[in-house]
Chain A
Amino acid sequence: MLNFKKAIKERLTKLNLPAAREAEILEELLLHVEDRYQELTTSGLNQKEAARAAVAEVCEGNILIRQLERTERRGVEPIVLGEKKARNFLMDIGPDVRFALRGMRRNPTFSLVAVLTIAVGIGANVLIFSLVERILLSSLPYPESYRLVRLIQAYPENGLATWGLSHATFARLRDGNQSFESFAAYMNAGAVMTGSEKPEYLQTARVTADFFKVFGVNPILGRTFAPDEEKAGKNVVVLSYGLWQRRFGSDSQIVGRWLTIADVPTQVIGVMPASFRFPSPTTEMWLPITLDPQAMHPFMLTGVGRLKLNVSPASATADTTRVLFNAATETPEIISRKAPPPAGAGLKTIVTPMKEYIVGKIERPLLVLQIAVGFVLLIACANVANLLLSRATKRTQEISVRLALGAAPSRIIRQLLTESLLLATFGAALGVTVAWCSLRTVTRLFGQGIPRIDEARITGNVLLATLAATVFTGLLFGSIPALRTYALGLKSGLNDAQRSIAGFANRRLNSSLVVVQLALSLVLLIGASLMLKSFKRLMAINPGFETENVLTMIVPVSPNKGKETVALQFYEKLLENLKSVPGIRNAAITSTVPFSGFVNSDSHFVEGHEPKGEEAPQAHMTVVSPGYFKSMGISLLEGRDFQDSDRDGAPLVALVDETIAHQYFPNGDAIGKRIRTGDPEWYTIIGIVSPVKDQNLAEEFDPHIYFSYQQIGFAYGPGRDQRRMYLVVNTDNPSGIVPSIRERIRMVDQNVPMYAVNTMTEVINKKLESQRLINFLLTSFSVIALLLAAIGTYGVMSLFVSSRASEFAIRGALGATPGSLLNSVLKQGLWLAGLGTLLGLAGSWALTRAIATQLFGVSTTDATIFTGTAILLIIVTVIASYSPARRAARTDPAVVLRNS
């Protein structure tokens, strides 16, 4: 016969229990087996079978050991009766998810609202993070791009804050520095490509031979420039990937082909990869600079360098400043002076890390947006948390039954969290889709003003961050309601009074969440309003010229088309020709238009007011044709405009703006006085025009001097390749007139293209693109936030009203008027609004200083905005509370009391 004791003990030993406990369990189980054996033999089983069956009931399989293990070791783990297979955390996920899905299907409205809310919150975050990730976080697409820097010079005493480099300065810096592995210079330019197809104006960059070496990028076809190509001025060109694709159909045999660029036969030597987009994404070809180390001006070059390992931008600044100072001491002309700079002069180089230079300005606005969408997400979470909390009350019964039937608390909480994580996941999936679509729209609408925005994608990193945000969100809005639901479930079977206390605690939680929502949305509203007001102020500034009806375009003439006079004749003929085009009020040419990004500054001297020392005051020089001021809507204040007779051979004349006239001739006797530039010839002032802004609306007016194009030609144009002028046309129909203008240009010279056709409004808008984007997004987000907060308020107020229905009924029965019931609910809403407003105002007061540098003409604590938005918030809250309040007022005591 079986030895019962031995059989049981064998199994218990595995548990390694304390000896006394083991003995106790053994004794109890042994009794059971013996009793059972007795019973079985009595019922007629033979001894052997009875013994086997009795032992088997206790010892068969693993059940006893596994369950004892749980009970004896872990103590609090739940015991599962009669289970047949092991379950673990992962295996429970399937049923949990299925259960949660069933729950979502049962409450489609609830689920839809929750998922949409989360989608808005996560979508906004994905959108902004995809911009932040690409623009700010990812490095530039060049090897070891952190070593790339940009270099210009500064000499504040000489009238201009920053200067470009001259050929001579560049050569000295390149040869004398100890900081750079390689150093090059470039300048933006443009050239007309003629030949087999129609003439086309292309944006080009003139670069020194080491330019591509600095960036460490190799061409995908052919080669880049050799050192002797910058010296000899050989006619070779490197094409951008875009141009190669667009104009040459990605022809793999392109290297060696000859193109006609600026009327010069030029040989293609290479094609750069698509990722190489410097100095600008719109640069289409690179041509070598013919470097003249003796040329002391103009200062049109920008330096780019690759720092040696372990050299910081700061030490490179010190090093190159030393080289520059020595060069200026040796040859003062290198900085446009006659005497060496005194010790302690502000002459220096400015070395900026390339990435900072490219994206520095957009950094803060993007971070502000990221914080704003963070707020939107928090508000969304609070909304969903409130929804879940309101459901908590409804689910009390379900949870209490499950608890009573033996569900472990941890399982129930996990189930509730699974539900919220599932909501978050659906929301995130929808949010990513929305973000993906809106990213395309945003880059299309605002693509031009913001660096690298066209590279923004929803990348793996973005998705990873989204995943983290989703889990965070799910836990954030899910955990409080889950604990709350569980706690309420525990208290099931409580009487109504206890229930209402639990309900009260719940309502307090609801209210706190609403207050937080209202506060956060107020912060966003205030931030957005400040930005909008600032932008409105900026846009309200009169730039000094007409914007709506002025059409501008570049009309470049090839430099080698005979002499300069031939080119000037082209413009004269064109202007003459345009006079007969119906719809054109005025037309003129100019060397530059405001906000085009191209400004030519030079020193100027007024006869009798020459500076005593070495200073050379600067002014913006613009070369124009007669009629320019009329075409641009710039007022002629005194004197006369240029005439066709102000040409070569006639007395030299100039117009100045009011800024210069006021500065030198406060008595108003500027007309007839003489003024000159750095060159020795004097120009007689024949007129005074109103001032214009041409770089930044927010800044003061810069002084301007205007010259006649027939006297000064292309002296202030953009350089060798660019014998070009802007055409400005004043017309009521800017877009409709373009074909006629194109036709007239072709009539005068069929090899002259037109390029960059824009109204002045568009020119200014391009400048303000990034600000527009930030305003647009920030405003959208704050409106979304306000809507979410209003929905949240509505939900919570409805909940209040329905949970207090019997109270209202009793009050109604006791004689309270509907008006007083309405008021009592509205008062509740106002309380929430008041608290939210106070919190929001305090938050804004602390946070808006982060956008101080983005604001123009508006204080970060603008009283009108703070008051206005606070009132708006309160009004919205009252509106959101109104319909629940009406429901309370209409409570029919009889109906409610009968049902309760």
Chain B
Amino acid sequence: MNEQELKRGSTEMLILALVEDRPRHGYEIAKLIESRSEGVLQFHAASLYPLLYRMEKRGLIRGRWVEKAGQRRRRYYKLTAAGQKILAEQRRTWADFFVALNRVAGISNA
């Protein structure tokens, strides 16, 4: 497995996880990744939006323009049923992966 596959796969999962509990717009997603990872993971908009569009095409998330009073309209992304399934699967795979990594290399301090 190469670094690229790792990055792409994990980013997808991050996005899915972030829109799991409620719809979010692009900027919000970028900010959340940064803040929740305490700055370790950063995301360039140049990559973020194309990825969102791609995930939308694959049916994992759905984007909708939402207008709120006194604000400009924004595009909010929401998790679809298919996205939900993939997210569950990826969580499991990653969990297995971390357990395996930990067994072998003792990475987590848990």
Chain A residues at the B interface, C-beta cutoff of 8 Å: 24-25, 28-29, 31-33, 35-36, 57-61, 63-64, 67-68, 70-72, 75-76, 78-83, 95, 400-402, 404-407, 411, 492-493
Min CB–CB distance A396 → chain B (angstroms): 12
Contact: B9 with A407, CB < 8 Å? yes
**A50 → B minimal CB distance (Å):** 15
Q: List 13 A-B contacts (CB under 8 A).
A: A25-B49, A29-B49, A57-B46, A63-B47, A64-B47, A64-B49, A67-B50, A70-B50, A79-B50, A82-B7, A402-B1, A405-B5, A405-B10
- By a CB distance below 8 angstroms, the chain B residues around A493 are 89, 92-93
Please give the distance in Å from A4's CB to the nearest CB on chain B. 12
Tell me which residues across on chain B come within 8 A of A70, comparing CB atoms: 50, 54
CA distance A81 to B25 in the complex (A): 19
State the main secondary structure of chain B at its contact with A.
Answer: helix
Given that A32-B26, A36-B27, A68-B53 are contacting pairs, would A406 and B6 also be in contact in the complex, using a CB cutoff of 8 Å?
yes
A591: min CB distance to chain B, Å: 82
B8 touches A79 (CB 8 A): yes
Q: Please tell me which one of the listed residues B45, B49, B54 contacts residue A36 in the complex, with CB atoms under 8 A apart.
A: B45
Task: Tell me if B57 and A58 are in contact (CB < 8 A).
Answer: no
Measured CB to CB, the closest approach of chain B to A304, in angstroms, equals 68
User: Known: A32-B27, A493-B89. Contact between A78 and B46, CB under 8 A?
Assistant: no
A-side contacts of B103, CB under 8 Å? none
In the assembled complex, the Cα of A404 lies from the Cα of B8 at a distance in Å of 10
A28 and B50 form a contact (CB under 8 A): no
**Would B51 and A79 count as touching, CB distance under 8 A?**
yes
Residue tally, chain B, CB below 8 Å to A: 35
Q: Which residues of B contact A79 (CB under 8 A)?
A: 8, 47, 50-51, 54
How far is B102's CA from A293's CA once the two chains are assembled, in angstroms? 102
A36 and B31 alpha carbons, distance in the complex (Å): 10
Q: Which residue of B lies closest to A65 (CB)?
A: B46
B5 A407 Cβ-Cβ under 8 A? yes
Q: Is the CB of A61 within 8 A of B46?
A: yes
The docked-state distance in angstroms from the alpha carbon of A37 to that of B61 is 27
Chain B 67-90 per-residue mask, 1 if CB under 8 angstroms from chain A, else 0: 000001011000000000000011
Chain A residues positioned under 8 Å from B93 (CB to CB): 400-401, 404-405, 492-493
Q: Is the CB of A405 within 8 A of B11?
A: no
Known contacts A71-B57, A401-B97, A57 near B44 by CB under 8 Å:
yes
Give A75 to B58 CA distance when docked, in angstroms: 9
The chain A residue sitting closest to B93, CB to CB, is A404
A407 vs B7: C-alpha distance in the bound complex, in angstroms?
Answer: 10
Q: Decide yes or no: A58 and B5 within 8 Å by CB, A68-B50, A401-B93 being known contacts.
A: no
Does B12 interact with chain A (Cβ within 8 Å)?
Answer: yes
Q: Which residues of B contact A60 (CB under 8 A)?
A: 46
| B109 beta carbon closer than 8 Å to chain A | no
Q: Is the CB of B1 within 8 A of A80?
A: no
Mask, B12-49, CB within 8 Å of A = 1, is: 10000000000001110010000000000000111101
CA of A804 to CA of B49, assembled, Å = 49
Residue from A31, A76, A81, A401 within 8 A of B47 (CB atoms): A81
Further pairs besides A81-B7, A406-B11: 17, Cβ < 8 Å: A28-B26, A31-B25, A32-B26, A57-B45, A57-B46, A61-B46, A64-B46, A67-B46, A68-B50, A71-B50, A71-B53, A79-B51, A81-B11, A81-B51, A82-B47, A401-B97, A406-B7
